[in-house]
Amino acid sequence: MRRRCLLGAAALAAFAPAVRAQAARFAEEDLRHAEALRAAGLADTEAWRLLEGITTEVGARPAGSAAEARAAQWAVAAFTRLGLSNVRAEAVPLKIWQRGPGSARLVAPAPHPLVMAALGNSVGTPPGGLEAAIAWYPDFAALKADGSDKAKGRIVFIDQKTERTKDGSGYGRAVGARFSGAVEAAKRGAVALAIRSIGTDRDRVAHTGAMGYDISVPRIPAFAVSVPDAELVARLVARGETPRLAVAFETRSDVEATTHNVIAEVPGTDLAHEIVAIGAHLDSWDLGQGAVDDGAGIAIVGAAAAQIARAGRRPRRTIRVVLWGNEENGFDGARAYGDRYGAVPHQLVAESDFGAGRLWRFSSRVQAAALPLADAIGQVLAPLGIERGDNAGGAGPDAALLMRRHKWPAMLLFQDGSNYFDVHHTENDTLEKVDPAPLPQNVAAWAVMAWLAAQSPLPFGPPPL
Amino acid sequence: MRRRCLLGAAALAAFAPAVRAQAARFAEEDLRHAEALRAAGLADTEAWRLLEGITTEVGARPAGSAAEARAAQWAVAAFTRLGLSNVRAEAVPLKIWQRGPGSARLVAPAPHPLVMAALGNSVGTPPGGLEAAIAWYPDFAALKADGSDKAKGRIVFIDQKTERTKDGSGYGRAVGARFSGAVEAAKRGAVALAIRSIGTDRDRVAHTGAMGYDISVPRIPAFAVSVPDAELVARLVARGETPRLAVAFETRSDVEATTHNVIAEVPGTDLAHEIVAIGAHLDSWDLGQGAVDDGAGIAIVGAAAAQIARAGRRPRRTIRVVLWGNEENGFDGARAYGDRYGAVPHQLVAESDFGAGRLWRFSSRVQAAALPLADAIGQVLAPLGIERGDNAGGAGPDAALLMRRHKWPAMLLFQDGSNYFDVHHTENDTLEKVDPAPLPQNVAAWAVMAWLAAQSPLPFGPPPL
């Protein structure tokens, strides 16, 4: 306690070189409290209750929809029940994209219905749909390398596979086909883009997700088919066939709507004006229940804040749970949050948005003088089976945007995402897909990280960017 | 060879008591050939080729559809290519049920779209659909035990779970809810029946399958929802809610059509007029590619017959591959087969219709005098990891019907069906779901069984029924 009183933020700035030389340290009692939070987190049952709640009482909650507004109300009620403070939903106007009905089928060499989903932001097909032969590419690189006129007048089909990885790097390598495939296809005269779902499953469900256009080329309809359907197309292509595909779907763009950032706090004490933001995203894609993406994140950060509130010791800085709106298709919530709170000092911004798997690594993005503190957090996390990563870490999608835009320090807790992309952005993203077992470890780690960030004798920023 | 010549069928009948006393035996050279077939079967690649072919070139093939007619053509071409003889498709007129578009959703306490499939033979809903509160039952027994008026005017929801078992007994215990649920619901005044899919998966796909009506009660619409959707309903019910459900779907019944039995033979020699029938079913439900149900069976029995034909030794009896039409919803093919061939002596009728899992048991249904022969077949199968079951075995669905109707002897090779009901009767029944590894073991066993049945010194029948 004495040390904390001596080393307020102003004092720190003056004595920074001396502190650095000594290596900044957490107060022993703050470390002990972190250990107590860790133990309490490992017995958590609230995260599952939250996750079960939002998937059951709300379900799919695409940004700007009535369901997302209900999700915001649900979150306000849940966080209030958990004893958090200053709970509110902040409305954010935005323009949204909406999915209409759609279908796709092979018409030659044999009729086969295909399970499809329009990609987010895609224009629809002409009324009545379109039909064309496929121009098949084994991956996105092959399309980009194609200087021929093979794609002209055809439906480009990118058979990009998604590698199963623990850290999501397989998704990172594959997702370009989804995001930029329509532009590359349109440059080559294609009438539509079809992709193998960006996913690691073998289920008859299609994975949606955001795509983008380029004003320099026509906006062509873009959609994903399920992995088994992509396998079927590949088998036909391997036989030397040129499959013909018919597709019809409707979409709406630029629909005026409102999304929400939901905020709830454990108020700080002497440094209450500084914010430790731990977040997730409120919205989900429209196809599932938003369980792994990102009901799990909502549950984890909400339960972690509740553990801190319940433990009774108030933090120095304010610990703020933030559920950003429209992470999936525009980051409107994160940008609005930055517009509103950009001038408020943030000690940390971090987001849980990679499902509900076991945590295995912890990375940071803090100023050099704060590195011993990040390492000390890592030491409290280590008994949870979490290894210390580097200081060039990210923060989760919304948090990373804010980290870069506002130069806010960040930390990232890495979940095992080996199964995450089996159901990501699909109808299959339902509660049953979540193994409850790793949730308490997640809650424990987030509580430790948030608590110690709030107690730090040093500001974590500015981060190395 | 000498023994075979001495003990023709007629001679056997006369000397049966003596033969029994000695215990009937296969000729050594027939056993050696069975062992050679076993070894060749274990190196089989044809079954996968057949399975890949029918799922890719045809796919879903509901009985009486244009696709099933294409499947019959495909099978005729495939069996001809494999060197089988007397290959033909025998047309069978029938009346079929057809699925139209459909959808279901919860409207209260919160809107949730549900993934649904009409059950086979169900009437459709009134135009525009219907909406009602749910009367929820944890299982079919609970509905049958209900003497109250709880179901009146409601949509009965049976949450019958399907236990994962190796032998399919879990399905057997659950399927009554699907087949007879609408009758029990209608008896109690319900306006529709919804069931948890009869399946062991947790995927957002609904399992269809045949249901039936009773003339004594109204025909109400019947449909299945996916397991995750049933879990959602159960969670709402556990909260004390009474969910309201809206459903709309179209179906057609009694549509005049044609199904096919496809037949191909390895012609016999001295007992060529006796038939060893090894079968599968040609048709599939309309939702998947008919890979595990029953492309795998087609592939296994087709490849087994091909192994026998390729080995060059002609069997005594004729080995006949039969692909029956409309197993899924009426057994029209099996009945037509019986009508046509009921007077032809059948030494064996057997069917592969439980997916593509590893074989683990062999059962028989043969006359007592032939038991030593069935046991001897079991001994040749034993090195494949197949245990000898009893002599009260079944035969697969079509074959069992024929066994009982015509008193034909039967044998059954039991596959490990632990995963079969994950995809059974769903959109997810696609090629990817088949592990190719156990296919050669299946081919080896079916070739051994068919060959030795054809070489038996005794008729297997009449079976104990």
Q: Among all residues of chain B, which has the CA nearest to that of A206?
A: B204
pLDDT digits (tens, 9 = 90+) for B286-337: 999 999 999 999 999 999 999 999 999 999 999 999 999 999 999 999 999 9
Q: Which residues of A touch B115 (CB under 8 A)?
A: 427
Give CA angle at B133 (B129, B136), nearest 5°. Answer: 115
CB contact A100 to B (< 8 Å): no
Q: Among all residues of chain A, which has the CA nearest to that of B241?
A: A57
Q: What is the pLDDT of residue A70?
A: 98
CB contact B289 to A (< 8 Å): yes
Q: Which residues of A touch B239 (CB under 8 A)?
A: 56
Which positions 124-163 of A are in contact with B (Cβ < 8 Å)?
Answer: none
Using CB atoms, pick whichever of B58, B426, B433 lies closest to residue A110: B58
Q: Which residues of A touch B432 (CB under 8 A)?
A: 202, 227-228, 231
A394 pLDDT tier (thresholds 50, 70, 90): confident
**Do the Cβ atoms of B232 and A111 come within 8 Å?**
no
CB half-sphere exposure, B50, CA atoms < 13 A:
32
Q: What is the pLDDT of residue A99?
A: 98
Task: Give the start-end residues of each E strand in B306-366.
Answer: 317-324, 346-351, 359-365
A23 pLDDT tier (thresholds 50, 70, 90): confident
Whole-number Å distance between alpha carbons of B198 and B117: 12
Q: Which residues pair with B257 in a beta bridge?
A: B94
What percent of chain B shows pLDDT beyond 70?
95
**Do the Cβ atoms of A430 and B288 come within 8 Å?**
no
Q: Which residues pair with A98 in a beta bridge?
A: A252
Amino acid letter, residue B137: Y
Tokens of A460: 């974590």
| C-alpha distance from B322 to closest chain A C-alpha (Å) | 24
Whole-number Å distance between alpha carbons of B336 and B93: 9
Tell me if A370 sits within 8 A of A409, measured CB to CB.
yes
Q: What is the pLDDT of residue A246?
A: 98
Q: Among all residues of chain A, which has the CA nearest to that of B203?
A: A428
| C-alpha distance from A233 to closest chain B C-alpha (Å) | 9
A22 pLDDT tier (thresholds 50, 70, 90): low
A13 pLDDT tier (thresholds 50, 70, 90): very low
**ipTM, 2 dp:** 0.93
pLDDT digits (tens, 9 = 90+) for B343-368: 999 999 999 999 999 999 999 999 99
Q: Among all residues of chain B, which has the CA nearest to that of A53?
A: B235
- Coil/strand/helix, residue B170: helix
pLDDT digits (tens, 9 = 90+) for B129-142: 999 999 999 999 99
pLDDT at B147 over 60: yes
Which positions 249-278 of A are in contact with B (Cβ < 8 Å)?
Answer: none
**Do the Cβ atoms of B232 and A204 come within 8 Å?**
no
Measuring CA to CA, which residue among A208, A204, A212 is closest to residue A195?
A208
CB contact B328 to A (< 8 Å): no
Whole-number Å distance between alpha carbons of B136 and B154: 10
Measuring CA to CA, which residue among B41, B46, B53 is closest to residue B295?
B53
pLDDT digits (tens, 9 = 90+) for B59-69: 999 999 999 99
**Do the Cβ atoms of A110 and B239 come within 8 Å?**
no
Determine the angle formed by the axes of helices B46-57 and B296-311, rounding to 10 degrees.
140
Which positions 430-459 of B are in contact with A (Cβ < 8 Å)?
Answer: 430-433
**Do the Cβ atoms of B111 and A235 come within 8 Å?**
no
Mean pLDDT, residues A204-230 taken together = 98
Whole-number Å distance between alpha carbons of A53 and B320: 58
Q: Which residues of B touch A70 (CB under 8 A)?
A: 110
pLDDT at A18 over 50: no
Q: Compute the radius of gyration of chain A from its Cα atoms.
A: 24
Per residue, the 3-state secondary structure of B250-265, as one string, reads: EEEEEEEEEEEEEEEE
Whole-number mean pLDDT of chain B?
95
pLDDT digits (tens, 9 = 90+) for A329-376: 999 999 999 999 999 999 999 999 999 999 999 999 999 999 999 999
Whole-number Å distance between alpha carbons of B348 and B461: 8
**Do the Cβ atoms of B430 and A231 come within 8 Å?**
yes
Instruction: List CB contacts of B300: < 8 A, sequence separation 6 or more.
Output: B47, B280, B352, B356, B439, B442, B443, B446
Q: Among all residues of chain A, which has the CA nearest to that of B115?
A: A427
Q: What is the pLDDT of residue B22?
A: 67
Interface-testing mutation among A432, A433, A434, A435, with chain B (most B C-beta atoms within 10 A): A432
Q: Which residues of B touch A204 (CB under 8 A)?
A: 205, 288, 426-428, 430
Q: What is the pLDDT of residue B11?
A: 43
Using CB atoms, pick whichever of A59, A232, A426 lies closest to residue B110: A59
Give CA angle at B133 (B131, B139), nearest 5°. Answer: 120
Peptide bond into B109 cis (omega under 30): yes
Interface-testing mutation among B48, B50, B114, B204, with chain A (most A C-beta atoms within 10 A): B204
**Do the Cβ atoms of A56 and B204 come within 8 Å?**
no
Q: Which residues pair with A132 in a beta bridge?
A: A245
Mean pLDDT, residues A105-116 taken together = 98
Using CB atoms, pick whichever of A55, A231, A431 lies closest to residue B431: A231
Interface-testing mutation among A204, A231, A237, with chain B (most B C-beta atoms within 10 A): A204
A19 pLDDT tier (thresholds 50, 70, 90): very low
**Do the Cβ atoms of A231 and B289 come within 8 Å?**
no
Backbone torsion region of residue B382, taken as left when φ is above 0, otherwise alpha when ψ lies between -120 and 50, otherwise beta: alpha
Whole-number Å distance between alpha carbons of B28 and B156: 61
Using CB atoms, pick whichever of A56, A110, A428 lies closest to residue B59: A110
**Do the Cβ atoms of B60 and A228 come within 8 Å?**
no
Instruction: List CB contacts of A371: < 8 A, sequence separation 6 or more.
Output: A364, A391
Instruction: List CB contacts of A11: < 8 A, sequence separation 6 or more.
Output: none
Q: What is the pLDDT of residue A348?
A: 98
Tokens of B48: 């996968």
pLDDT at B183 over 70: yes
CB contact B426 to A (< 8 Å): yes
Q: Among all residues of chain B, which has the CA nearest to that of A57?
A: B110
pLDDT digits (tens, 9 = 90+) for B202-246: 999 999 999 999 999 999 999 999 999 999 999 999 999 999 999
**Do the Cβ atoms of A59 and B231 come within 8 Å?**
no
Q: What is the pLDDT of residue B2?
A: 34
Using CB atoms, pick whichever of A70, A228, A426 lies closest to residue B430: A228
| C-alpha distance from B285 to closest chain A C-alpha (Å) | 13
**Do the Cβ atoms of B430 and A204 come within 8 Å?**
yes
- CB pairs < 8 Å spanning A and B: 89
Whole-number Å distance between alpha carbons of A258 and A73: 13
A8 pLDDT tier (thresholds 50, 70, 90): very low
Q: Among all residues of chain B, which has the CA nearest to that of A287?
A: B113
**Do the Cβ atoms of B56 and A232 come within 8 Å?**
yes
pLDDT at A449 over 70: yes
**Do the Cβ atoms of A427 and B115 come within 8 Å?**
yes
CB contact B70 to A (< 8 Å): yes
pTM of the predicted model, to two decimals? 0.94
Mean pLDDT, residues B9-14 taken together = 44
Q: Which residues of A touch B227 (CB under 8 A)?
A: 432
pLDDT digits (tens, 9 = 90+) for B411-453: 999 999 999 999 999 999 999 999 999 999 999 999 999 999 9
pLDDT at B70 over 80: yes
